[in-house]
Amino acid sequence: MNLRFSENALPRAMKCFEVERDHHDDSFSKCLKSLMRWVSRWTEDGEKPIYDEEDYIRLTPDFCNEYSFGFAVHHKDGRIGIAGGLLFHGYPGDADTTFSVTMDASNAWQIHT
């Protein structure tokens, strides 16, 4: 399983890495790692991975703000699996433009499904 950025998502991702570095934050990087860990799980019996090596997660720009993404798992047989968003909620003092519900008061990036 790997991570793929749409053509216009890669420059956005690079900007997100800059923003988190400038704010001494690692929430964007942690979210990407969490997505990869999440989809590389094994079946309950430990026999085989839930996802095939040829499956991938595709990230695309999201409409809610300039630092947010949509994601979906694409299976090798053409099916689309779980989908959601990697949303930027801002930093303290910023307006949260995502209009999404979060269960805690943390800022910056969070995964939503």
What is the reported pLDDT for 107?
Answer: 74
Extract the runs of DSSP E, i.e. beta strands, from the chain. Answer: 2-5, 56-61, 69-74, 80-88, 109-112
What is the reported pLDDT for 70?
Answer: 96
pLDDT tens-place string over residues 48-79: 666 777 888 999 999 888 999 999 989 889 99
- Rounded Cα–Cα distance for residues 2 and 109 (Å): 20
Which pTM was predicted?
0.83
| Beta carbons within 8 Å of 109's beta carbon, 6+ residues apart | 16, 20, 27, 28, 30, 31, 67, 86, 87, 88, 89
Any idea where the domains of the chain sit in the sequence?
2-112
Both tokens of 58, joined, read 């595709």
- Rounded Cα–Cα distance for residues 68 and 28 (Å): 10
